[in-house]
Amino acid sequence: MVATVVGTRVESLASSGIEAIPKEYVRPQEELTSIGNIFEEEKKENGPQVPTIDLEDLVSEDEEKRERCHEELKRAATEWGVMHVVNHGIPIELMDRVRAAGAGFFNQSMEEKEKYANDHASGNIQGYGSKLANNACGQLEWEDYFFHLVYPEDKRDMSIWPKTPSDYISATSAYAEHLRGLATKILSALSLGLGLEEGRLEKEVGGMEELLLQMKINYYPKCPQPELALGVEAHTDVSALTFILHNMVPGLQLFYEGKWVTAKCVPDSLVMHIGDTIEILSNGKYKSILHRGLVNKEKVRISWAVFCEPPKEKIILKPLPETVSEAEPPLYPPRTFAQHIHHKLFRKTQELGAK
């Protein structure tokens, strides 16, 4: 008998003792050939590796050191659109607190977690959830999640923030504030890399008042048939930047030069993605890379993704005039952030419908 998945949390499915995953979680045949054992994949030394960028000199007084750091960041953003960042200025102890708080929330009983359940039907997207089948082939992902806006403070809805563990609110708030500062420094360096004034990209994505930081804690339970499933299907991030903290269990893969490359687990690092928003503003000079998440049989994987997003309606996203020329015409039509998201969903639905 195949388990039914309507309204089911993946964690409940995983802990029910099933040996075969429900068909809704099995990926299409053309994808299955590329899904391997994530632990074996992580050990591979040959082939391309996601770059590691040391941010220690990002705002150094020493001009030569600062420019070298900016150049490395620019190269990684241009060639890959994703990187491990180290010496990022976020205290390691704070990162550990965020990990402990998020894991603590998911370690609670299902009954406790369901008190925070989101409700897409009524527009309440913040809270505890699992992906609902919203595409043509009814495909599901092997993950549960907790999603909420964490910055700016005046836009947060504290009623949805977990009360347990007791450190959740203070650790997550402090972490969001640190990330917001880091985002400014990264955006400054990326602006200079395009020959713009350093405050330009930040201004274009909403500045201190309007740039939103949305946190999604992804919880990937152990999977009895990891070779058939994905934790997160292949996608690019719509954000300006995305910062990812994880519990040192591998899972992230990047589609680079026609092949899936597994990101190694780099201690004390964050993974940083360039999102579609920056790709559009830079007219494709900085890349938003296709990526996905694999699952495994042995270990629960948790990742904390923070998406730095422009406001949905207030800003028109289009290639900046300085990035466009006769030789390099604009690659993207003008759209609001909301229109960009809608366009991606519409295109995906069309592609699935055509299969």
How far is CA 206 from its chain centroid? 19
Indicate whether 252 pLDDT > 70.
yes
**Predicted local distance difference test score (pLDDT) of residue 234:** 95
Query: SS3 for 209?
Result: helix
Question: Is the CB of residue 226 less than 8 Å from the CB of residue 297?
Answer: yes
* Local confidence band at 125 (pLDDT 50, 70, 90 cut-offs): very high
Mean pLDDT of 128-157: 87
State yes or no: pLDDT of 137 exceeds 70: no
The 3-state DSSP class for residue 9 equals coil
Residue in 37, 35, 1, 7 with CA at minimum distance from that of residue 20: 1
**For the CA atoms of the chain, what is the radius of gyration?**
20
Rounded to a whole number of angstroms, the distance between the first and last alpha carbons of the chain is: 28
Q: Is the pLDDT of residue 67 over 50?
A: yes
Give CA–CA dist 355/353, Å, rounded. 6
In the predicted structure, residue 351 carries a pLDDT above the cut 80:
no
Q: Give 139's pLDDT tier (boundaries 50, 70, 90).
A: confident
- In the chain, what are the helix, strand and coil shares in percent, each to the nearest 5? 35, 20, 45
> Which of 237, 287, 318, 340 is the catalytic position?
237
* Summary mean pLDDT of the chain: 94
Task: Please confirm, yes or no, whether 120 is among the known catalytic residues.
Answer: no
List pLDDT tens digits, range 319-348: 999 999 999 999 999 999 999 999 998 777
pLDDT per residue as tens digits for the range 33-51: 999 999 999 999 999 999 9
As to burial, measured by CB atoms within 10 angstroms (0-12 exposed, 13-18 middle, 19+ buried), residue 151 is buried
- pLDDT above 70 for 2: no
Q: What is the structure's pLDDT at 134?
A: 54
pLDDT digits 0-9 by tens, 177-217: 999 999 999 999 999 999 999 999 999 999 999 999 999 99
Whether 343 sits among the annotated catalytic residues: the reply is no
What DSSP state is assigned to residue 124? B
Among residues 88, 291, 318, 340, the one annotated as catalytic is 291
Q: In Å, what is the CA distance from 59 to each residue of 27, 234, 286?
A: 44, 34, 21
Set out the domains of the chain in order of their start, with CATH numbers. Answer: 32-354 (2.60.120.330)
Catalytic annotation present for 70: no
Residue 273 appears among annotated catalytic residues: no
CB atoms within 10 A of CB 296: 19
- Looking only at the bridges linking them, the beta strands covering 52-54 and 301-309 are unpaired
* Tens digits of residue pLDDT in 269-288: 999 999 999 999 999 999 99
Averaged pLDDT, 245-252: 98
Number of H helices, E strands in the chain: 11, 14
Angstrom CA distances, 324 to 195, 228, 273, 277, 318, stand at 12, 43, 23, 16, 10
Residue tagged active-site, from 113, 148, 216, 340: 216
Query: At 1, is the pLDDT very low, low, confident or very high (cuts 50, 70, 90)?
Result: very low
Of the candidates 159, 142, 176, 135, the one whose C-alpha atom is nearest the C-alpha of residue 292 is: 142
Catalytic, out of 235, 297, 312, 314:
235
Q: Which residues contact 275 (CB under 8 A, 6 or more apart)?
A: 236, 237, 238, 239, 240, 241, 242, 288, 307, 308
Which tokens in the block code for residue 154?
């005046």
Backbone angles phi, psi at 289, to 5 degrees: -85, 145
